[in-house]
Each structure stands twice: as structure tokens, then as C-alpha cells.
Amino acid sequence: MLSFLRRELQMSSALVSKLKFRNAYFLDGEPVFTDQKVAIGQEITVHIEESPQEEFPPEDLPLSILYEDESLLLVDKPAGLVVHPTWNRLTGTLLNRVAGYYVKTGQKCAVHPVNRLDRDTKGVVLLAKNAHVHALLYGMQRAGKFQKTYHALCCGAPPEKQGQVDAPIRRAGENTMLRCVSEDGAPALTEYQVLEEQDGLCRMEFMPITGRTHQLRVHCQYLGCPILGDSMYFTEESERISRELGFVGQALTAYRLSFPHPMTGEMVTVESRQDIFLPNS
């Protein structure tokens, strides 16, 4: 039993020990210990239940669910909503809504976000329902097994309609959240294509290969086509047009997320219901 848990299910030794005292292991429906011998054809069941974290006070507020099973929850975050509570803001975030949903539906799950979006970026957010699944997903993400697709509205258009931006990114200064392209920055690679153009604006699709902070926003500014509504990475023209069109916050959507299911290996592909389009298109 123990070798199966550690090798096949890739459970950490800490988690295996923790669950041992919760009567979480079953063989063909009967409770067993980790030293139980198993044979081909027998069914092993592991019950992983967690209590909601105290740092995520549950709130019964709207939550747009795109996909859910016993291991995963994918939700469609609206623009303007912070994902994670902070030391001075413990409520009013996406994770508070997720915690509230688990309480409302009677699920003994903790809140484990896998990907995070900026406050004003809308779209797909993936959460694991327990620490084991979270660790598996985190490892997949670091190994490059996640395929992320973003859509944005930009001021102007890049010189080439399709290509790559290979431009390192670093923090612009010690006391700022701003990032900039710099030779001494961390490697940052983004694939892009222009989907459509209209009246000096364009709708673009991005597939980030790396995951640097503000990567797409910085790379758009570097290409000369900043994202509309972006108050950090802009030009005078993009600021003017954003103001005229009423964009508040960057016009950026985490549109699609594809990844192997951590338990079955089958590909999961989820798309946001909040795709973004050019005005009057």
C-alpha cells in the first residue's frame, strides 16, 4: 500500500503520515493501514478531506463556475476582484467566495489557488480542493504542462502579426511594483498573434511560455501596443484612447486554460465566458 501511495499517487510522506491517523485508507471498501499488502485488481481509496483555512473567511457571494469535480474547481473571475486576501484585507476576495461556496455546498475542502490573476484581469482561475492535488498541479505548472491563452485589446498593433517576444523582465526599482524589459532581467517569452484590427486598435491573443509578473502587460508596451486601460504600462495615446472608450483597468482576459488532470491524466480545457472584443465589432 505505501509504495503505491508514494510512487503511483505521488503523495508526500508528510501527507501519507497525516492521513494515517484519520482512517483515510481503504482497500476494496475496507479500512486498512499503509502496511497492508495489495494485489492486482484490488481497489484502493484515499479520503482526503481538509478544513477551510481561517485566513479565508467564507462569504456567500456570486461565483461563476466553469468546471468542477472532486479534485478541481475552475472559476471565471470578474475584473476588479482581488484573488487572495492580504494582511490588511481579509474579505471581499475571490478566495472568500470560494470558501463560502464550499461551506454552502457542504464540501470539506480547503482553498488552494493554482494560478493567480491581477485584480483587473478577468478570466479562468484554477483551484485545487486539497493540498495533494495542489502539489501535483503546481509541479505540472513548473514543468510547463499548462497551456494558457489570453486575449487583450491593444492600442496600435505590433510590426509583425504573429511571432514571439523574447525580452527579459526585472523589477523597475526597489520600491515599485513596476516591471521593465532589461538585459539583466529574468527570461520572459511570449507567443502572440493579432486576431483582428480596427481603427488603430487590435485584438491580440497571447500564449505566455514563462510566467513573470505583469509579463503580458510589459511585453505589450515593449512591442509598442500597450493594453487599453492599463494604468501602469501605457503611452499618452493609449491613455487617451482608454479614457475616451471608458476602459478602467487593463482590457485583458485569461481566456483559456488547458492542463492534464492530476488524477486521470486526461486533458482539461476550460474557456472563460468573458471574452473580449473590439468596440463596434
Q: Which residue in the block uniquely carries the three cell numbers 503511483?
A: 8
Asked whether 84 and 116 are in contact (CB, 8 A), the reply is: yes
Q: What percent of the chain has pLDDT over 90?
A: 74
The span from the CA of 208 to the CA of 165, in Å, is 9
Per the DSSP assignment, residues forming a β-bridge with 163 are 192
d(CA 132, CA 76): 23
pLDDT digits (tens, 9 = 90+) for 186-227: 999 999 999 999 999 999 999 999 999 999 999 999 999 999
- Exactly one of 76, 118, 120, 230 is catalytic; name it: 118
* Catalytic residue list contains 118: yes
3-state secondary structure of 243: helix
- Identify the CA nearest to 249 among candidates 222, 204, 278, 217: 217
Write the pLDDT tens digit of every residue in 154-173.
Answer: 999 999 999 999 999 999 99
- Which domains, and CATH codes, for the chain? 2-46 (no CATH), 65-144 (3.30.2350.10), 149-253 (3.30.2350.10)
pLDDT digits (tens, 9 = 90+) for 220-258: 999 999 999 999 999 999 999 999 999 999 999 999 999
Dist. CA 150–CA 161, nearest whole Å:
16
Lowest mean pLDDT among 27-31, 78-82, 164-168, 175-179: 27-31
Question: Poorest-confidence range of 23-27, 50-54, 124-128, 214-218?
Answer: 50-54
Longest pairwise C-alpha distance within the chain: 70
First to last CA, the chain: 58
pLDDT at position 3: 65
Q: Is 166 left (phi over 0), alpha (psi -120 to 50) or beta?
A: beta
Whole-prediction pTM value? 0.86
Quote the pLDDT of residue 41. 75
